[in-house]
Structure 1
Amino acid sequence: MSEAPSPTRDSRHGSRILVVSIGDAGDVGHPLTGYSALLADSGCGVEQRVIREGSSPRQVLRALWLTRDVRSFDAVIASDYTGAFAVAVMALLLRSRALLIAVGFNLSRRPFRSGHAAIDRIVDRVFARLDRIVVHSTPEADQFVALHTLDRRRFSVVPWGFDLPPVADDVAALVPRTPYVAMIGRNNRDFEAAAVGLQGTGIGGVFVGCGDLQAAGDTELRTFPTLPFDQCLGIMRNAIASLIILNDGNRGAGHITAVAGMLLERPHIFSDAPVIGDYLQDRVHGIAVPFGKPEALQHAIRQLADDPALRERYGRQGRETALTQMSNAAFSRKIAHIVLGELGRRRVGP
């Protein structure tokens, strides 16, 4: 393996920052973008290194190797759970005083829990080395506090940054001939409850991310286990509303779907749960419905189907929110602000 390159120092700011993210070999050597570019513009010397995607153990090992010179940096930013763990391990082993920041901390994979108290205490101690942890929703912060006994004050909630990619124009073959709602996504989605909510409304449905599902009554329902993302966006753009109906309020889900729908100016009907509350507000971006109340979902579908002006208002307000608060540019500004703030506090000291 090649030697880790030496970090650069900028005379205006003096802070040397390493950004470690998941990607592939083709990502190496690209110009700085996002918050990395903003940090460089502020005067920081920024270097990016890529952890090739693989199993969690492989990603940890690769991240350990990439951060073996952690003592050469003033701050290290890791973009996921496995990378943050590896960076914290190296900082502890090498007694580095570098500021450690995890961005996009989430549990898309199994958490590092062994079931053995002594081992889990060591894992918790490693994660406790992180100085700042950025998550995408408030419940995720609470989840990690409980999972790894972390200090809640070290968490910052920053919604996903997302810019709308190309949208498929011709999706007529995928959708009902009648007006329809769209529900797209896999994580924590309750497609059966959504199907029940469509009964008797006269509104069709397109569900992407579920298996075979029998529609009740005369509901025209199209289901797909998966579709290309541009087609998913095309389906959503032509729907009267985007549904995010969850199985429970304990697991995060629907964040990217919510932002995509907002950018497409679609009103939302969504579960009244904190896991989505950092993105969608009831009677601002759509209608929140309680768990286990199919009649509330039916009423919300009918209300939006019968009121084009209300659909337009919720859609417009959602797009305004997404453009100002949930774009990639907005996300990058918030992360850069957090990093520079932490570096500033580190200089001033306690």
Structure 2
Amino acid sequence: MQKSNLNIINLSDLSADWHWLRDEFKHLPNKWAHYTSLNTKLPKHLPKRQSIARFMTATQAVLDAKKQPSLLVSHGPRPAYYGARMAQHLHPQLPHLAYSFNFTDLPTGFQHKAMAKAYQQIDRFVVYSSLEKKLYADYFGIALERIDMLHWSVHAPTVPHDEPPIEQGDYICALGSQGRDYETLFAAMRTLRHIRLVVVATADSVQHLSVPENVTIRTHIPLAHAHNILTHSRLMVVPLRDSQVPCGHVTIASGMFFNKAMIVTNSEGVHDYIQDQKTGVFFNPKEANDLAEKIQQLWDDPIQINRLAATGYAFALEHCTEKNVVRYFADYLSHLQHL
């Protein structure tokens, strides 16, 4: 594959303005393209509209890839599935990197079988936890050596310290919706009536729950407002639904960059990020009393809060910045171009 002719084609469900690592690789003569299902114009009432949009977008991306030496980079398991299926039919030898390969809930039945078959076309996968490597290898029949683990990584965000707080007073916060267990957190808060909790989540993740009086729910707010709430909180809680759920990585990395001490469900899916009493504090899954005890302990110990926040921030700077993704992708391109 000629380095000067490589066309890097991104396939996603993300904004058309997003171009992944394009700006970090301007020094190389590669071309970049982005195909997103969001650009597909279909009637809103059309059944399975999103699936059809993904199918159409993946077809366009793979047909583009046939015009010159190309690399397909899919973002998320469903763009990966449709991209792989189209490549199997139209361009079987197309190199394909499945980035951000993460399931909140694993597919079952026919969907599972179809995905397992399609994923054989993909040569490399990137996941955000060690748990997911073995989980997806076993579940989809993927060779373990084809799956790479990288920490969730972003450009270090600007923390809005100078902005006035949206929420007044002293409080703790919880952000995020995927794989969450707000029922246990709310049960803990009922025993901590002197502490206020602000939750930023989707309405679906909390609508079935009885909300305690000392809990405020914020739904469908801009990211900047969520960052403001995180910035001015005393600490953050990440309640996960069980000991195996591969979720919470984005929230944990954000909390670290925002210098927040965190109390997190002891789930194997976050062991690559949280070291108990170092980068965070674990509580036992589904145990409201244990969670309440950990919240109270940290609430009363500002020295421990500051220590956890500093250690977490140092961890994020080392493992969770985009430079690590840039390094990984540069190595991947080097390997690809020497095949």
TM bucket (normalised to shorter chain) is 0.7 to 0.9
Shift of the 251–56 alpha-carbon distance from structure 1 to 2, 3 Å rule, reads: farther
State the 1:224 CA deviation.
2.8
Shift of the 24–315 alpha-carbon distance from structure 1 to 2, 3 Å rule, reads: closer
Query: 1:64 pairs with 40, 59, 84, which one?
Result: 59
Letter of the 1:128 counterpart: Q
Structure 1 segments, 4+ long, off by >6 Å, are: none
State the TM-score, normalized to the length of structure 2. 0.82
2:44 equivalent in structure 1 = none
Structure 2 counterparts to residues 1-350 of structure 1, below 5 A:
13-14=3-4, 16-22=6-12, 26-27=16-17, 35-41=21-27, 43=28, 45-53=30-38, 55-71=50-66, 72-107=68-103, 111=107, 115-116=109-110, 121=113, 123-163=115-155, 164=157, 167=160, 169-172=163-166, 174-175=167-168, 177=169, 179-198=170-189, 199-200=191-192, 202-209=194-201, 210-211=206-207, 213-215=210-212, 220-344=214-338, 347=339
Shift of the 194–135 alpha-carbon distance from structure 1 to 2, 3 Å rule, reads: same
Is contact 1:91-1:98 (8 Å) kept?
yes
Is contact 1:188-1:251 (8 Å) kept?
yes
Is contact 1:162-1:256 (8 Å) kept?
no
Q: Across the two proteins, how many residue pairs are aligned to each other?
A: 320
Unaligned runs of 5+ in 2: 41-49
State the TM-score, normalized to the length of structure 1. 0.80
Q: How far, CA to CA, are the matches of 1:289 and 1:108 in structure 2?
A: 21
Q: How far, CA to CA, are the matches of 2:20 and 2:56 in structure 1?
A: 26
Q: How far, CA to CA, are the matches of 1:203 and 1:24 in structure 2?
A: 37
Is contact 1:100-1:130 (8 Å) kept?
yes
Q: How far, CA to CA, are the matches of 1:128 and 1:35 in structure 2?
A: 25
Q: How far, CA to CA, are the matches of 1:90 and 1:223 in structure 2?
A: 42
Is contact 2:104-2:246 (8 Å) kept?
no
State the 1:239 CA deviation.
1.6
Q: How far, CA to CA, are the matches of 1:223 and 1:91 in structure 2?
A: 44
Is contact 1:70-1:90 (8 Å) kept?
no
Shift of the 180–337 alpha-carbon distance from structure 1 to 2, 3 Å rule, reads: same
State the 1:120 CA deviation.
5.7
What value does the CA root-mean-square deviation take over the aligned residues?
2.9
Is contact 2:8-2:33 (8 Å) kept?
yes
Letter of the 2:34 counterpart: R
Is contact 2:11-2:61 (8 Å) kept?
no
State the 1:201 CA deviation.
7.0
Q: How far, CA to CA, are the matches of 1:46 and 1:149 in structure 2?
A: 33
Q: How far, CA to CA, are the matches of 1:88 and 1:67 in structure 2?
A: 9
Q: How far, CA to CA, are the matches of 2:214 and 2:316 in structure 1?
A: 31
Letter of the 1:251 counterpart: V
Unaligned runs of 5+ in 1: 1-8
Shift of the 182–101 alpha-carbon distance from structure 1 to 2, 3 Å rule, reads: same
Matched residues, percent identical?
18
Moved more, 193-202 or 278-287: 193-202
Q: Give the match's secondary structure for 1:262.
A: helix
